[in-house]
Structure 1
Amino acid sequence: MSPTNPARPLPTAPISLHTALASFSALWSPRIVTHVNDYDVRVAKVEGEHIWHVHDDTDEFFLVLEGELYIALRESDGERTVLLPQGSVFTVPRGTEHKPYAPSGAAILMFEPTGTPTVGDRHDGIPDHVDATTGHALDL
């Protein structure tokens, strides 16, 4: 494991996730709250459907902060959907095609290796409403 990248300084004070989420309105376009080793900790507001995509080399961790999130999964034995109510976590295994969606909207926290695109390594195209696939720096 490599140490935290000195070019990415860590915050020197606690960060309120509520404040972080209130600082932007773009959907499916995460903000990077902090870093843990070579991983970004990202928050995002989501509503409606994302796209089917796959992360070939990394798992994807989700924590639902507000609302509820559904994740459709295409697995070797067929499709299934998991429901994550507020406060729930779920990890999509690497190589699993999935599509998150939130009919009523949600706020989520994700752990992903720095630079990992939120649309995965294989997808059908980036929706117009997604303005950053690797996250924006949080501007507080």
Structure 2
Amino acid sequence: MTQEPVSLAHALASFSEQWSPRIVTAVNDYDVRVAKVEGEHVWHVHDHTDEFFLVLDGELHIGLREPAGERTVVLPRGSVFTVPRGTEHKPYAPVPTAILVFEPTGTLTVGDRHDDVPAHVDATTGHALDRLSVPDDTLDA
């Protein structure tokens, strides 16, 4: 991790893959990841951790399977939501969307249990941000 500020806009501009988060920094034992998303993710569960979402641009829907039944939360730009550990959920973005996710380092994007992972979803613990593709003058912007 760098000890310099990181522009989220420039970090997002440095890659094009959907559902393939980049780690922009770490806080204690947690990764701060940004991702571009559109379309459906996969139903999955994180058994031991909550998952925090912040919508930077666009709109994110998160389907939830809870004891009381299924529901969907809609997060417009600037909204945050935390999916509680053990809750089956499925993110969906009806339009191109940029998100920030905060979760423990090493957490798999498709959780501990999940449906079949479609080809457009990257099952990863996050990729390092390619600082070579982010202009030097933007790291402190």
Normalising by the residue count of structure 2, what TM-score does the alignment of the two structures yield? Answer: 0.90
Spell out, residue by residue over 1:30-75, the C-alpha distance to the aligned partner (whole angstroms, 9 max, x if none).
0000000000000000000000000000000000000010000000
Distance (whole Å) between structure 1 residues aligned to residue 39 and residue 28 of structure 2: 32
> How many percent identity over aligned positions?
79
| One of 8, 31, 53 as aligned partner of 2:22 | 31
Structure 2: give runs of 5+ residues left out of the alignment.
132-141
Q: Does 1:20 align with 2:22?
A: no
- For the aligned residues, what is the CA RMSD? 0.9
Shift of 1:11: 1.4
Q: What residue is the counterpart of 2:43 in the other structure?
A: 52
Structure 1 stretches of 4+ with a deviation exceeding 6 A read none
Cα shift readout 1:92-134 (whole Å, capped 9, x = no counterpart): 0000000000011210000010010010100112221233521
Per the alignment, residue 107 of structure 1 pairs with: 98
Matches within 5 A, 1:1-140: 10-140=1-131
What's the CA shift for 1:13?
A: 1.2
Report the residue type matching 1:139 in the other structure: D
| Richer in helix (by share) | 2
TM-score, normalised to structure 1, is: 0.91
Partner of 2:139: none
Q: How many residues align?
A: 131
Q: Using the alignment, how far apart are the partners of 2:12 and 2:109 within structure 1?
A: 17
Do the aligned residues in 1 keep the contact of 2:19 with 2:120 (CA within 8 Å)?
yes
